[in-house]
């Protein structure tokens, strides 16, 4: 490798003068190493060979060593034998994408599945090579924290693992806790729920919002302004219009009285909205939201918690007490927060709250 570097790689005098390699020089170093690997062992070198080249790179250029802990050797960013990730592995995978089918070691096939809602989705069943790539990307997006430098890589990782985690959710029915432990970026980057829903239902990501704001809300606002015993009285004139519309809707479409399924609990019309939206005083700590004893109703399904009166300045959080999950939202309106909640139901294959599951209410929402 030393001979290769001297003939094709970064100029050693530049490294000796500064003690550092530029990003361009580091990429050239990886390119040279992978080219030598491919020439020696083909496009599918064994783990030991990749490990050897990664160790050689940080031996020749000590400033490239990055130690994250005692168990870390310092070359894992070039190749990590545990997660099968790193610059070398990514370079190899990029080269394999250009191979003809007869040059590939593994072949892929497609399958069509249906989730519990009956929605049919075409997914690619990954072969051994692709499964290894999926594991690598899953590890990458789990380790990376959201930052301006990492956002693009995280988005690419979610795209690469899409088929894998859709199959997992549809076939294994993991809990919310398990889903967000495996894909934690859904929690600290909740707009990824919008992206995921849009891939599941192309062209329909904003359909609910358009119908709700353009058609349903104006009609219900007219009803809510009329003195009608159905409308729940309120003294708060500054509350979000969406909140008043939901109050009107829940009285017009009351909770079903015939539900007897598991988790069903009889509730009044006045309390029904709490299974969708719970209001807490401004300044309430997020950790306290997981305490069931502090909630108005015992909800087994995820719901929205509003810190402060519903308004454009309130903070909205998706809370699932049973799974110990809280997702602070960046959305500054109740409408957007509820849309996010509904999308999470579909992305995570979760049922709506049973107390609100009358056929009419489900159809309208």
Q: What is the pLDDT of residues 245-263, one digit of tens each?
A: 777 777 777 666 544 555 5
- Looking at the predicted structure, is the pLDDT value of residue 123 above 60? no
pLDDT value of position 240:
65
Q: What average pLDDT does range 84-102 have in this prediction? A: 81
The residue extents of the domains of the chain are: 2-82, 109-200, 208-364
> Mean pLDDT for the chain?
76
Among 294, 303, 354, smallest CA distance to 325 is for 303
Q: What average pLDDT does range 196-213 have in this prediction? A: 82
Spatial contact of 358 and 256, defined as CB atoms under 8 Å apart: yes
- Looking at the predicted structure, is the pLDDT value of residue 62 above 80? yes
pLDDT value of position 318:
92
pLDDT value of position 57:
84
- Looking at the predicted structure, is the pLDDT value of residue 126 above 50? no
Q: What average pLDDT does range 79-94 have in this prediction? A: 83
């Amino acid at each position: 490798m030393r001979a290769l570097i001297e003939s094709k790689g970064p100029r050693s005098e530049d490294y000796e003068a500064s003690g550092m390699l530029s990003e361009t020089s580091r990429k050239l170093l990886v390119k040279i190493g992978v080219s030598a690997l491919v020439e020696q062992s083909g496009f599918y070198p064994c783990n030991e060979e990749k490990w050897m080249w990664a160790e050689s790179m940080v031996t020749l250029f000590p400033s490239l060593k990055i130690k994250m802990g005692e168990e870390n050797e310092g070359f894992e960013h070039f190749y990590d034998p545990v997660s099968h990730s790193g610059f070398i592995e990514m370079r190899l995978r990029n080269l394999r994408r250009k191979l003809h089918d007869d040059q590939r070691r593994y072949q892929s096939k497609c399958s069509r599945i249906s989730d519990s809602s009956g929605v049919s989705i075409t997914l690619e069943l990954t072969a051994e090579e692709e499964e290894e790539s999926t594991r690598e990307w899953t590890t990458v997006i789990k380790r990376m924290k959201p930052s301006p430098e990492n956002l693009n890589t995280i988005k690419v990782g979610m795209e690469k693992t899409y088929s894998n985690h859709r199959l997992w959710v549809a076939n294994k029915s993991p809990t919310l806790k398990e889903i967000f432990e495996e894909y934690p970026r859904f929690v600290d980057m909740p707009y990824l729920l919008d992206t995921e829903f849009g891939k599941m239902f192309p062209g329909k990501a904003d359909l609910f919002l358009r119908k709700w704001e353009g058609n349903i809300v104006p009609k219900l606002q007219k009803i809510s302004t009329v003195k009608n015993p159905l409308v729940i009285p309120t003294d708060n004139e500054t509350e979000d219009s969406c909140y008043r519309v939901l109050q009107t809707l829940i009285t017009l479409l009351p909770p079903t009285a015939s539900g007897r399924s598991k988790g069903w609990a009889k509730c009044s019309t006045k309390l029904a909205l709490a299974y969708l939206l719970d209001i807490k005083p401004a300044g309430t700590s997020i950790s306290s939201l997981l305490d069931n004893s502090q909630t108005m109703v015992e909800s087994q399904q995820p719901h929205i918690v509003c810190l402060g009166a519903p308004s454009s300045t309130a903070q909205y959080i998706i809370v699932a007490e049973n799974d110990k999950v809280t997702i602070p939202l960046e959305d500054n309106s109740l409408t957007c927060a509820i849309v996010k909640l509904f999308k999470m139901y579909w992305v995570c294959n979760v049922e709506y709250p049973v107390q609100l599951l009358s056929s009419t209410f489900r159809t309208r929402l």
